[in-house]
Structure 1
């Protein structure tokens, strides 16, 4: 370890601490990147708008999105019908669920992501209703809960209680070995679905009730008419979409600090903050899989301007290239899954966290504007 003396950014007090190498033991590195700094996206947004005020013209919904999403929904129902008499654990069933089903349902997860920002229609209510429709091939009701949790992720990025995209300390302790990371990568969908309810409570609304009622009704009608294999196709597609699938790499790629971006941590945390230069906490990917995932790879751009639709994010990057080109990028989502699982310096601790706005141990009821 190297002994380092630095000055605290805010208090101007001087601290000396030991800095382990990035490839030190897991036990030494098992801490998040804590910071008291504000998240970077608000600052960059202000700078971009000051230099390129025309960026505001890119905001707003994308009318063509509803047709693309509708096509994916119809495709999934068509494949489910085609497989209605095919054994669930046959090679044919699993192959179609992985190649078509998982890719399609990942696209629907991200269509619901776009809808959570009201980017399909002008009126928020229309986005909520269409999200319930886009939810149908996922098999379980999900869209109504996703929106408020995702709003919290944007408003309180890195907050240990309000940003439920962050792994918990329990996950970091038990899943930061090779077996644990492989398990996490295989079952990401369960972590993202179940983690929020253990951390932050949201208000149950009529949209949640409608989401549940419509999903249960459609599932029942489909099973009654076509059999259980059709619903099994939807569920398997959803699981594989959040597992070891190329498109699922975005879940890890977006905010985990991986490989050469993983800076040495402080052995001693001063006042809950890792002093020194933090790594970037959001990473963009500009590869071909964006064509299947509503350009979710443009993730710095999305967090900077969450009300610019997927179709205009490349244009934003082109306009403000000098802001985005210097940022570290992810070149492969498949590579991300591999590096995350099998590179020892990559663990569930590799996230930037901020001290929560709620007292430790208290659940939060966050009331958001649902109109």
Structure 2
């Protein structure tokens, strides 16, 4: 580990990402954890209910002005929470954790995409799987901020802009960092979403669609649930929430941080992020069980206590910035193959 030698440098390491190693160690110590893998059918019922809720609210507002206070407040409180739930349902489906069939997972992801307002599901899948397979590698992990972002946004105002418009950065950055092949799922996602948007505007006016878009914006903005985007992999306060135990003080800062608070109920336990990266094919309902089975592996790891505090600390503590990410140099030329796009990680 080279360390953060200056204020304008990432946390570079030569060590392999820890999740693959820890997965092997956990399976060796607790082979029963492999039985936790597999789809969780309840995901579809939960996200289906959230989609219906968003559709109902959007149609209720069809006679309201698009930027009226009732629309804005509802879009932040209910819509932001609901669309963050949908984002994370698509995340579960990208790991084939809704159905046994990859086709069914992709179709479901495209269908529940509707309240997001923009086509998202098809593009998210391959980029997210690359994030898992190449965690911290600057050429392929598009979750990492670029050097240009880190330089330009290295101020309180810049960090506030980043936290406010996170989804915009996550939408544009992948296209600038790593290209992926465009397949028929992308075209289906695009055609379905645009058709749905057109029909909504034609029969119910612009306000329902604007409500969807506002909900998506707030879901990735200064919203308590949006704190997970920063909390998952940013090394804040080296680290935030609690001090490293003695057993970890001579190791590099962890790549990944978990959160075990009550907000997990809204987002499919995405706060169990170390557990998720260790076992991407264990669904959200069984991640707490994984932690209970292997506490000796997870209890020593630093975690965050509050996603809201994560956003606050990220913006207002000078030592926290977009530079606070562990990065690895890509040691070999890795092609974005059909295996990654199809979801075969291991």
TM range (shorter): over 0.9
**Equivalent residues in 2 for 1:279-294 (5 A)?**
279-294=253-268
2:114 alignment counterpart: 136
Alignment correspondent of 2:133: 155
> How far has the Cα of 1:88 moved from its partner?
1.9
Q: Note the alpha carbon deviations across 1:56-111, whole angstroms, 9 max, x for none.
A: 00000001110001000000100000111111221111000001111000000000
Deviations 1:135-186 (A, max 9, x none): 0000000100100000000000001010000000001111111000000000
CA contact (8 A) 1:161 1:357 kept: no
Count, aligned residues? 333
> Paired residue for 2:280, among 285, 300, 306?
306
RMSD: 1.7
For 1:211 and 1:19, the matched residues in 2 are separated by 41
Aligned pair 1:370/2:337, yes or no?
no
Shift of 1:356: 2.6
How far apart, in 2, do the equivalents of 1:298 and 1:19 lie?
27
User: Which is richer in helix?
Assistant: 2
Distance in 2 between residues matched to 1:295 and 1:240, nearest whole Å:
20
Q: In the alignment, is the contact (CA less than 8 A) between 1:41 and 1:304 conserved in 2?
A: yes
Aligned counterpart in structure 1 of residue 98 of structure 2, from 90, 114, 120? 120
Alignment-derived partner of residue 24 in structure 1 = none
Equivalent-residue separation in structure 1 for 2:109 and 2:89 (angstroms) = 8
Query: Equivalents in 2 of 1:356, 1:86: separation in Å?
Result: 52
* Larger Cα-atom Rg: 1
Distance 1:43 1:342 in 2: 35
Which residue of 1 is the match for residue 85 of structure 2? Answer: 107
Kept in 2, the 8 Å contact 1:202–1:364? The answer is no
Counterpart check, 1:329 vs 2:323: no
Tell me, yes or no, if the aligned pair for 2:150 and 2:321 is still in contact at 8 Å.
yes
Structure 1 residue 365: deviation in Å? Answer: 4.6
Structure-1-length-normalised TM-score:
0.87
Deviation at 1:260, TM superposition (A): 3.7
SS of 1:315's equivalent? helix
Q: What is the DSSP-based 3-state SS (H/G/I as helix, E as strand, rest coil) of the residue aligned with 2:125?
A: helix
Alpha-carbon distance between aligned partners in 1 of 2:293 and 2:20, rounded to the nearest angstrom: 18
Mapped pair 1:338 → 2:309: no
Q: Which runs of 5+ in 2 are unaligned?
A: 241-249
Structure 2 counterpart of 1:194: 172
- Equivalence for 2:329: 355
* Pairing of 1:251-262 with structure 2 (within 5 A): 251-261=229-239
Q: How does 1:1-371 map to 2 (within 5 A)?
A: 28-261=6-239, 277-357=251-331, 365-367=336-338, 368=340, 370=342
1:358 is displaced (CA, Å) by 6.4
Residues in 1 aligned to 2:185 and 2:4: alpha-carbon distance in whole angstroms:
49
Structure 1: gaps spanning 5 or more residues: 1-7, 9-16, 21-27, 263-275
The match for 1:269 is none
Distance 1:208 1:19 in 2: 39
Whole-angstrom distance in 2 between the partners of 1:301 and 1:30: 31
* Cα deviation code 1:289-318 (max 9, x no counterpart): 000000000000000000000000000000
Tell me the secondary structure at the aligned position of residue 259 of structure 1: coil
Aligned equivalents of 1:41 and 1:364: distance in 2?
22
Q: Secondary structure at the match of 1:261?
A: coil
